[in-house]
Amino acid sequence: MKIDYFGDLKKIRNTKPLVHHITNYVVMNVSANITLSLGASPVMAHALPEVEDMVSIAGVLYINIGTLSDRWIESMLAAGKMANKKHIPVLLDPVGAGATRYRTETAKKILKEVKVDVLKGNAGEMQSLAGEKVMVKGVDSTTSAGMGTAGALAKEYGLTAVITGQEDYVSNGSQSATVKNGTEMFSRITGAGCMLGSVIASFMAVQKDMFASAIEGLVTFEIAGEKAAARTKLPGSFMTALIDEISLLNEDTYKLSDVTIK
Amino acid sequence: MKIDYFGDLKKIRNTKPLVHHITNYVVMNVSANITLSLGASPVMAHALPEVEDMVSIAGVLYINIGTLSDRWIESMLAAGKMANKKHIPVLLDPVGAGATRYRTETAKKILKEVKVDVLKGNAGEMQSLAGEKVMVKGVDSTTSAGMGTAGALAKEYGLTAVITGQEDYVSNGSQSATVKNGTEMFSRITGAGCMLGSVIASFMAVQKDMFASAIEGLVTFEIAGEKAAARTKLPGSFMTALIDEISLLNEDTYKLSDVTIK
Amino acid sequence: MKIDYFGDLKKIRNTKPLVHHITNYVVMNVSANITLSLGASPVMAHALPEVEDMVSIAGVLYINIGTLSDRWIESMLAAGKMANKKHIPVLLDPVGAGATRYRTETAKKILKEVKVDVLKGNAGEMQSLAGEKVMVKGVDSTTSAGMGTAGALAKEYGLTAVITGQEDYVSNGSQSATVKNGTEMFSRITGAGCMLGSVIASFMAVQKDMFASAIEGLVTFEIAGEKAAARTKLPGSFMTALIDEISLLNEDTYKLSDVTIK
């Protein structure tokens, strides 16, 4: 495993991998813009008659259950299975797992039927999937979870688990990393977690070690957030600045990375 | 009835009530951002298998029919009935009522089957629901309505009616208020009315007198609009400034309120 | 055929034609904002029970298949047929045609069952509809096409074809135009093509010569893009600047037009 932040960012910019999103209505626009700003090529497609075709030409599949319904779940499963068949990596963001039984069960169903490579969620979502008792209010986490939860999920499902929060925890069951980058401003806009998913997914398309690509995506997005927060503390302006800053990342930027790997 | 603008805004910021939106695709992102910027916690969930669970943990339900379809209507009704059962307040925004029979009938169906606490719309929408003859073109109103329409709707459905326009009219059937805050810039961006709905809904979660919470939400949103319009008269920049200004409101800001209560 | 950029822009601003969009989730917000900023009145409605009513009161119908599904296709066809019946012009944007069979076939089905007045797409999309062999990756074009493809499509379907790219090609089968306005920044945000569709559609509502309205829309949108790009080269800021600049266009602005008509 070799982490190469800027090397892999350059690969994204040069190869513009297609990032197939099946994501929620709230963030589709900003997720597409973050992906473009990073240098990758986003596509949103959710209809059952086309998801298998679309994922087959993609570099990665990103499933996000933020505004799910039965028909979309069917498409998520079909796309995920085709991605597995074609050896295309899959990221799952179980938005709101723990808040309603429907979301928790859907996330578990996807984890059972699709081989997910990276599972990324906040503490409440990840604890609910790990079977821990947890209070969840809506889609924002009010709890905290640690590396133990990440490791347990990693082992249970054979994937890289990412738990976001003030500190982020990444585990693939044998290795673990703590990322301390980021900004409080992420909690003041909608979709920060969803946009992070787009960034990690983009790295998954060019870096086949999923533990590495998860860390690279986290650090990339969170450093851009820090730079945007240095420009403004107002949420509307911050959203614009965040998209701007993603496009400005360079080799120097990564000196800000604050990662501990064990 | 006691209006306490800043006191109730502080309650929102401190308790971060969950605002369950079943709203239209066009505004989901900006509505979530306005809600966060105000200090509340937005969630969007529309699938029949989960709306009852979601609304049960929410502080308020906000139904907006801006891009409706049969399945969504089914979920709006289910969520509304569960909100009634759990004594969670309900705001209805009948976007486009009067423009198509489908929208008018859907709004009336919701008003009949769900106890709505606040009904908020522009003149054309509200007049069409009051059974007045009216010309409506799309989702923007080209007519005007007064306190009479608001009062009639308030009495007919036992709710607080809010008619937005250059002057806004609020009536609960026995009390009435005219709000003169706001800015012409609201008509130059999409979703101003929908975002206002998110703000009023957030106040409904902390202020149980619906006449008061409607006025508080109106004044809060419209003063933020005035402050944003003082920064820029360009529509793209105004949208960003509006989200920024909502986050900056303080006790002093409310000195700008221009409300007449009778 | 008489092109009158500013005259027709003034008509849009004065008459505020209703632009009925059946478009994709990703761009709904920015498309509505671009339409408003231009001076027209956007409405989004996709449910089968109302699309015929809505299009009947509209000045133009804009169909965009960016995030299609079976139910939406059904509504697109119903709206298109009603538009034909009422002599309301129709714009089709075949987003992603060529990327999946579902999209290619849907675009062809609409072209067959609905009389489309303007067909606008990027090179890959238009080539795939013209039956040319082409590689398409997702919804962004990686190929190039010329006036030949535009002319062939214009003749085959009896419409005005617009192929966007570094140079844009417009043909109605007998006349052709090349537009060299625009900015590389359009490729760095999501939905530039979709927003262009909203602008062309708005011109179609006031200028009945479709070859002229296509050129007017192209030039208007692309000049606004040039002006926005002169303000910023950062993608988040550019998006805001683009919406701003659309609202600022005046007679002088059109001196920047770079169009060759044959």
Is residue C134 scored above 90 in pLDDT?
Answer: no
Among A87-91, A140-144, A202-206, C96-100, whose mean pLDDT is lowest? A140-144
Is residue B134 scored above 90 in pLDDT?
Answer: no
Do C138 and A49 make contact, defined as CB atoms within 8 angstroms?
no
Is residue B145 scored above 80 in pLDDT?
Answer: no
Q: Which residues in C lie closer than 8 A to residue A49 (C-beta atoms)? A: 70, 102
Minimal-distance CA residue of chain B relative to C44: B67
Picking from C127, C53, C51, the residue whose alpha carbon sits closest to that of residue C94 is C127
Is residue A146 scored above 90 in pLDDT?
Answer: no
Is residue B135 scored above 90 in pLDDT?
Answer: no
Of B28, B43, B47, nearest to A70 by CB-CB distance is B47
Q: Which residues in C lie closer than 8 A to residue B185 (C-beta atoms)? A: none
| Interface test mutation site (partner C, options A15, A20, A25, A36, max chain C beta carbons within 10 A) | A36
CA distance C210 to C204: 6
User: Tokens 């607080």 sit at which residue?
Assistant: B160
Do A239 and C235 make contact, defined as CB atoms within 8 angstroms?
no
SS3 C18: strand
The neighbouring-strand residues paired with B44 are B21
In this predicted model, which residue has the larger pLDDT, B146 or C195?
Answer: C195
| Interface test mutation site (partner B, options A25, A187, A231, max chain B beta carbons within 10 A) | A25
C77 band by pLDDT with thresholds 50, 70 and 90: very high
Of A43, A48, A248, nearest to C138 by CB-CB distance is A43
Dihedral of the alpha carbons of A76, A78, A82, A87, in degrees to the nearest 10: 30
Rounded average pLDDT over A226-242: 98
**Alpha-carbon distance C108 to nearest alpha carbon in chain A (angstroms):** 16
**Mean pLDDT (chain C, rounded):** 95
Do A53 and C102 make contact, defined as CB atoms within 8 angstroms?
yes
**Alpha-carbon distance A234 to nearest alpha carbon in chain B (angstroms):** 5
The dihedrals phi and psi of A165, each to the nearest 5 degrees, come to 170, -160
Of C47, C58, C242, nearest to B68 by CB-CB distance is C47
pLDDT score of C132: 85
Q: Which residues in B lie closer than 8 A to residue C41 (C-beta atoms)? A: 137-138, 140
Report residue A173 as tokens: 């069951």
Of C29, C103, C235, nearest to A243 by CB-CB distance is C235
CA distance B141 to B40: 29
Q: Which residues in B lie closer than 8 A to residue C58 (C-beta atoms)? A: 138
Q: How many CA atoms lie within 13 A of B62 on its CB side?
A: 34
CA distance A199 to A80: 19
pLDDT score of A133: 72
pLDDT score of B144: 67
pLDDT score of C133: 72
Q: Which residues in A lie closer than 8 A to residue C101 (C-beta atoms)? A: 50, 53
Q: Are B169 and B145 in contact (CB under 8 A)?
A: yes
Do C99 and A57 make contact, defined as CB atoms within 8 angstroms?
yes
The neighbouring-strand residues paired with A162 are A120, A170
**Mean pLDDT (chain A, rounded):** 95
CA distance C202 to C196: 10
Q: Which chains touch C (3 or more CB pairs under 8 A)?
A: A, B
Q: What tens digit of pLDDT does each residue of A165-191 get? A: 999 999 999 999 999 999 999 999 999
Rounded average pLDDT over A210-238: 98
Q: Which residues in B lie closer than 8 A to residue A229 (C-beta atoms)? A: none
CA distance C40 to B50: 38
Rg (CA), chain C: 16
Picking from C7, C5, C17, the residue whose alpha carbon sits closest to that of residue C205 is C17
Q: Which residues of B touch A (CB under 8 A)?
A: 18, 20, 25, 28-29, 32-33, 36-37, 41-50, 53-54, 57-58, 71, 239-244, 247-248
With helix as H, strand as E and coil as C, how does chain B read? CCCCHHHHHHHHHHHCCEEEEECCCCCHHHHHHHHHHHCCEEEECCCHHHHHHHHHCCCEEEEECCCCCHHHHHHHHHHHHHHHHCCCCEEEECCCECCEHHHHHHHHHHHHHCCCCEEEEEHHHHHHHCCCCCCCECCECCCCCCHHHHHHHHHHHCCEEEEECCCEEEECCCCEEEECCCCHHHHHCCCHHHHHHHHHHHHHCCCCCHHHHHHHHHHHHHHHHHHHHHHCCCHHHHHHHHHHHHHHCCCHHHHHCCEEEC
Rounded average pLDDT over B46-53: 96
Do C236 and A33 make contact, defined as CB atoms within 8 angstroms?
yes
CA–CA distances in Å: residue B29 to residues A190, B68, C27: 7, 17, 11
Picking from A17, A72, A11, A67, the residue whose alpha carbon sits closest to that of residue A47 is A72
Rounded average pLDDT over B245-256: 97
**Alpha-carbon distance C27 to nearest alpha carbon in chain A (angstroms):** 6
Residue C164: CB atoms within 10 A of its CB come to 27
Rounded average pLDDT over B214-233: 98
Distant-in-sequence, close-in-space partners of A98: CB < 8 Å, separation ≥ 6: A104, A124, A125, A127, A128, A129, A134, A136
Q: Which residues in A lie closer than 8 A to residue B29 (C-beta atoms)? A: 26-27, 29-30, 190-191
Q: What tens digit of pLDDT does each residue of A26-65 get? A: 999 999 999 999 999 999 999 999 999 999 999 999 999 9
Distance of CA B63 to the CA centre of its chain: 9
Q: What tens digit of pLDDT does each residue of B147-156 get? A: 999 999 999 9
Q: How many CA atoms lie within 13 A of C38 on its CB side?
A: 41
Distant-in-sequence, close-in-space partners of A10: CB < 8 Å, separation ≥ 6: none
Q: How many CA atoms lie within 13 A of B197 on its CB side?
A: 33
Is residue A137 scored above 70 in pLDDT?
Answer: no
Picking from C48, C64, A44, the residue whose alpha carbon sits closest to that of residue B71 is C48
Q: Which residues of C touch B (CB under 8 A)?
A: 18, 20, 25, 28-29, 32-33, 36-37, 41-50, 53-54, 57-58, 71, 239-244, 247-248
Burial class (CB in 10 A: 0-12, 13-18, 19+), B53: middle
Of A25, A234, A235, nearest to B28 by CB-CB distance is A25
Report residue C10 as tokens: 């003034």
CA distance B140 to B96: 8
Q: Which residues in A lie closer than 8 A to residue C229 (C-beta atoms)? A: none
Q: Is B96 left (phi over 0), alpha (psi -120 to 50) or beta?
A: left
What is the interface size between A and C, counted as CB pairs within 8 Å?
Answer: 90
Report percent pLDDT > 90 for chain A: 93
Q: Which residues in C lie closer than 8 A to residue A247 (C-beta atoms)? A: 188, 234-235
Is residue C63 scored above 90 in pLDDT?
Answer: yes
pLDDT score of A247: 98
CA–CA distances in Å: residue B206 to residues A83, B25, B147, B243, C206: 46, 26, 26, 21, 48
Is residue B143 scored above 90 in pLDDT?
Answer: no
The neighbouring-strand residues paired with C62 are C21, C91
| Interface test mutation site (partner B, options C14, C44, C46, max chain B beta carbons within 10 A) | C44
**Alpha-carbon distance C45 to nearest alpha carbon in chain A (angstroms):** 16
Q: Which chains touch B (3 or more CB pairs under 8 A)?
A: A, C
Q: What tens digit of pLDDT does each residue of A90-105 get? A: 999 999 999 999 999 9
Do B188 and C239 make contact, defined as CB atoms within 8 angstroms?
no
Rounded average pLDDT over B151-171: 97
Q: Which residues of C touch A (CB under 8 A)?
A: 24-27, 29-30, 66-70, 96, 99-103, 137-140, 188-191, 234-237, 239-240
Distant-in-sequence, close-in-space partners of A87: CB < 8 Å, separation ≥ 6: none
Is residue B141 scored above 90 in pLDDT?
Answer: no
**Alpha-carbon distance A11 to nearest alpha carbon in chain B (angstroms):** 30
The dihedrals phi and psi of C144, each to the nearest 5 degrees, come to -135, 150
Diameter over CA atoms, chain C: 45
User: Helices (H), strands (E): how many in chain C?
Assistant: 10, 9
Rg (CA), chain A: 16
CA distance B46 to B61: 12
Do C235 and A44 make contact, defined as CB atoms within 8 angstroms?
no
Q: Which residues in C lie closer than 8 A to residue A248 (C-beta atoms)? A: 234
The dihedrals phi and psi of A57, each to the nearest 5 degrees, come to -100, 5
Do A236 and B37 make contact, defined as CB atoms within 8 angstroms?
yes
A132 band by pLDDT with thresholds 50, 70 and 90: confident
Q: What tens digit of pLDDT does each residue of C195-250 get? A: 999 999 999 999 999 999 999 999 999 999 999 999 999 999 999 999 999 999 99
**Alpha-carbon distance B244 to nearest alpha carbon in chain C (angstroms):** 14
Architecture of domain A5-261: 3-Layer(aba) Sandwich (3.40)
Do B32 and A103 make contact, defined as CB atoms within 8 angstroms?
no
CA distance A79 to A201: 15
pLDDT score of B14: 98
Minimal-distance CA residue of chain C relative to B65: C45
Could you give the ipTM of this predicted complex? 0.95
- Roughly how many angstroms between the first and final C-alpha of chain C, as a whole number? 12
User: Helices (H), strands (E): how many in chain A?
Assistant: 10, 9
Q: Where are the domains of chain C?
A: 5-261
Is residue C142 scored above 70 in pLDDT?
Answer: no
What amino acid is encoded at C216 in this protein?
Answer: E
Minimal-distance CA residue of chain B relative to C245: B234
Is pTM, for the whole model, over 0.80?
A: yes
- Between helices B5-15 and B210-231, what is the axis angle to 10°? 90
pLDDT score of B146: 87
Of A29, A45, A71, nearest to C30 by CB-CB distance is A29
Tell how strand A176-179 and strand A168-171 pair up.
Answer: antiparallel
CA distance B223 to B90: 24
User: Tokens 């609020």 sit at which residue?
Assistant: B170
Q: Which residues in B lie closer than 8 A to residue C46 (C-beta atoms)? A: 67, 69
Picking from B221, A97, B169, A54, the residue whose alpha carbon sits closest to that of residue C139 is A54
Of B36, B43, B46, nearest to A69 by CB-CB distance is B46
The neighbouring-strand residues paired with A137 are A140
